[in-house]
Structures are given as C-alpha cells and as structure tokens.
Amino acid sequence: MDTDLLKQLQTLAVDQKNLTNQTIARYILNNLATINKLTTNALANNCFTSAAGIIRFCQKIGLEGINELKFKTKYLSENVSLDVQQFNANKQLVADEMAFFNEYLNIKIESARIIHASFLIVIY
C-alpha cells in the first residue's frame, strides 16, 4: 500500500519532465521523518514552490492533501526499510540541486535589489 507511494516518489524524483514535482519528491524522500512536522507553506518554501503546488503534487500522487502525505510519510519513515545506497545517492543529487537553487535565488534577490535601487535613483 504505502510502498506504492514510495515507488511513485522515487519515480518522480528522477523525472526530468517536471522539475517542480522532481524537487518536491526528492525533498520528501530525503526528509521522510520530518515531513509530518512541516506546514504546507514551510514544505512549499523548502521545495521552491507554492502551497498550491504542494497540494497539486499530493493530488498527482493520489492523495487528498498534505495531511494524508504527512500521515503516509510518517508511516514510511517508521515502517519501511529504504535502500540506503539509493537514498544516499538521491540525497547527494538534492544537495547539489539545493545549492544550485540557493545560488539562483541569491542572484535573483541581488538583481531585484539593483533594479529597486536604480528605480529609486530615477525617481529622485
């Protein structure tokens, strides 16, 4: 039953067609034990998406919403043995991807600051 969820997450974690779903699935796989403690907004922020994106992801994998995801991931973390080598490989991929997203967001924030500062100079 819940191993089907795990298989879905593993499949989505390597899906190159939808990077949002890939990011969410990888984050969930690497944080199974703590997903149940996150709010929808916190999970969305950690996955660089919106709360609506998290809800759509839950529906895509056949869940009614975030609460069912929390319940099932807690069950998986407590009762299902994961292949440690595959899990570590996925963790490294997510770490590399997270570093990329962090750098991207820093560049985007700095660009916004520069544009904002330029805008203020033009007004005054």
**CATH classification at residue 53:** 1.10.10.10
Range of the domain at 47: 2-123
**What integer pLDDT is reported at residue 106 of this predicted model?**
79
Task: Say if residue 115's pLDDT is above 80.
Answer: no
Instruction: Count Cβ atoms within 10 A of the Cβ of residue 79 and give its class: 0-12 exposed, 13-18 middle, 19 or more buried.
Output: exposed
**Greater pLDDT, 58 or 107:** 58
Q: Which residues, 6+ apart, have CB-to-CB distance to 95 below 8 Å?
A: none
CA-closest candidate to residue 90, choices 20, 34, 17, 9: 9
User: For position 82, what pLDDT does the model report?
Assistant: 53
Question: The pTM is what?
Answer: 0.63
pLDDT for residue 3 is more than 80: no
d(CA 74, CA 36): 6
pLDDT digits (tens, 9 = 90+) for 45-92: 999 999 999 999 999 999 999 999 999 988 887 776 555 444 554 555
Helix (H) / strand (E) element for 81: namely none
Using CA atoms in the order 80, 84, 86, 90, what is the torsion angle rounded to 10 degrees? 90
pLDDT in tens, 19-53: 999 999 999 988 888 999 999 999 999 999 999 99
The count of domains in the chain is: 1
Supply the angle between the helices 19-30 and 2-13 in degrees, to the nearest 10.
Answer: 130
